[in-house]
Structure formats: structure tokens, C-alpha cells
């Protein structure tokens, strides 16, 4: 497992919050590429009569004058995707294809098998998408059990636990479910 502080530094250096906001469909009053700051409708507190948030290009941050909250790219992803800190870092690394080869492994992380961040993250995201596709296609109790299993595994992962065997069991279960 990579050092989380080093991942955070890499993300804050390489990932542009304006691009992330655009990826999530946020409408800016002015293009964030051409202005130092611009207004936008807050993507969290609900509808605005007028744009209540500002994106600041120099600090790569966003502030909502109604919510009184400030976000950087990591905080935005955490809130938007409902991720814990570690999972948000892994998600951003994977989604924006950041090269983590120069980041050292965390010496506190001990595991028998070396697994890269993107391998774990891709498997988690894949399982989440597979579960979402089953919504309404299988009985609710089975769907609920799969969601619960996924969130237990994701929580364990966010705390640095070894999830490989748990994730493999969940993926095997997903492969055996018959839709119909």
C-alpha cells in the first residue's frame, strides 16, 4: 500500500479541481480556465436561485457561502462519492490515471501479497458497479446483502485491512447470481 500522505500531495499537485468539477457536470458562470475565480451552483446543499459557491483557481479550492464549507479536490470527491479519505485517494488516483510508481510503500502496511492500489481500487469499483446493475433485477434481500458485504469490505479497505480474500468471495458470489 502506498503512503497516503504522499498520495495526497501527488493528487493536490496533479489534479485540477476545476476539471473535476466539470467532470461532475458543475456549471460555472465563467470558464475556470480563464478566470482566477468563478461562481457556480453548490453541488451539495440543493438548488440555488443564484450561484452561491466560488471556485478559486490559485488555491484549487471551492467555497460555498450558503453551506459555509470549503473543499479541495479530495474533500469534493469524499463528499460527492461518499468515500472515506483513503478510498477517495485511491479513487482519484485510478480515475485520473496518476503515476504512483515514485511514491514509496507505507512501511506500516504489512501484507503477505503485494497488491497495487489500482488493482484493489479497480476491483472495488468493479464490484460496486456490478452490484448497482443488479438493483431491481434480483430480490431486495439478496441485493441488500450484497450492498452490505460491499460496504463492509470498502470500510475494511479504508482502514488498511487486507481485503483480497473478502473481495474475491464477493466477486465469486456476483458471478453466480442469476438474473431473471
Q: Is residue 92 part of a domain?
A: no
The candidate with the shortest Cα–Cα distance to 98, out of 9, 3, 25, 11, is: 11
Q: Do 161 and 114 belong together in one domain?
A: yes
pTM equals 0.59
52: domain range?
A: 8-81
Q: How far is CA 75 from the centre of its chain?
A: 10
Q: Is residue 101 part of a domain?
A: no
Q: Is residue 97 part of a domain?
A: no
Q: Is residue 100 part of a domain?
A: no
Instruction: For the chain, give percent helix, strand, coil, nearest 5.
Output: 50, 10, 40
Ranges assigned E (strand) in the chain: 37-40, 53-56, 61-64, 69-71
Q: Do 61 and 126 belong together in one domain?
A: no
The CATH number of the domain where 33 resides is what? 3.90.580.10
Q: Is residue 39 part of a domain?
A: yes
Show pLDDT as tens, one digit a residue, over the chain (180 residues): 678 888 999 999 999 999 999 999 988 888 877 788 899 989 888 777 889 999 999 999 999 999 899 999 999 999 998 888 888 898 999 899 999 888 877 665 544 444 455 555 666 776 777 777 777 888 887 777 787 777 777 777 766 666 767 777 776 676 666 665
CA distance 44 to 64: 9
Q: Is residue 137 part of a domain?
A: yes
Residue whose entry in the numeric block shows the C-alpha cell 476539471: 19
Q: Do 77 and 19 belong together in one domain?
A: yes
CA distance 122 to 90: 9
Sign of the torsion angle spanned by Cα atoms 145, 148, 153, 156: negative
Number of domains present in the structure of the chain = 2
Q: Is residue 138 part of a domain?
A: yes
CA distance 147 to 159: 19
Q: Is residue 147 part of a domain?
A: yes
Q: Do 74 and 125 belong together in one domain?
A: no
Amino acid at each position: 500500500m502506498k503512503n497516503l500522505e504522499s498520495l495526497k500531495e501527488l493528487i493536490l499537485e496533479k489534479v485540477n479541481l476545476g476539471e473535476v468539477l466539470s467532470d461532475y457536470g458543475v456549471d460555472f458562470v465563467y470558464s475556470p480556465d480563464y478566470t482566477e475565480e468563478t461562481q457556480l451552483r453548490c453541488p451539495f446543499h440543493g438548488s440555488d436561485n443564484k450561484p452561491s459557491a466560488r471556485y478559486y483557481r490559485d488555491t484549487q479550492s471551492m467555497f460555498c457561502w450558503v453551506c459555509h464549507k470549503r473543499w479541495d479536490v479530495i474533500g469534493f470527491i469524499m463528499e460527492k462519492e461518499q468515500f472515506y479519505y483513503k478510498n477517495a485517494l485511491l479513487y482519484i488516483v485510478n480515475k485520473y490515471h496518476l503515476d504512483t510508481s515514485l511514491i514509496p510503500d507505507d512501511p506500516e502496511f504489512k501484507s503477505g501479497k503485494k497488491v497495487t492500489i489500482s488493482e484493489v481500487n479497480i476491483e472495488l469499483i468493479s464490484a460496486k458497479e456490478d452490484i448497482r446493475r443488479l438493483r431491481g433485477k434480483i430480490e431486495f434481500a439478496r441485493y441488500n446483502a450484497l450492498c452490505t458485504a460491499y460496504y463492509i469490505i470498502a470500510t475494511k479497505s479504508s482502514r488498511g485491512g487486507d481485503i483480497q480474500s473478502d473481495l474475491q468471495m464477493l466477486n465469486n458470489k456476483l458471478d453466480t447470481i442469476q438474473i431473471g
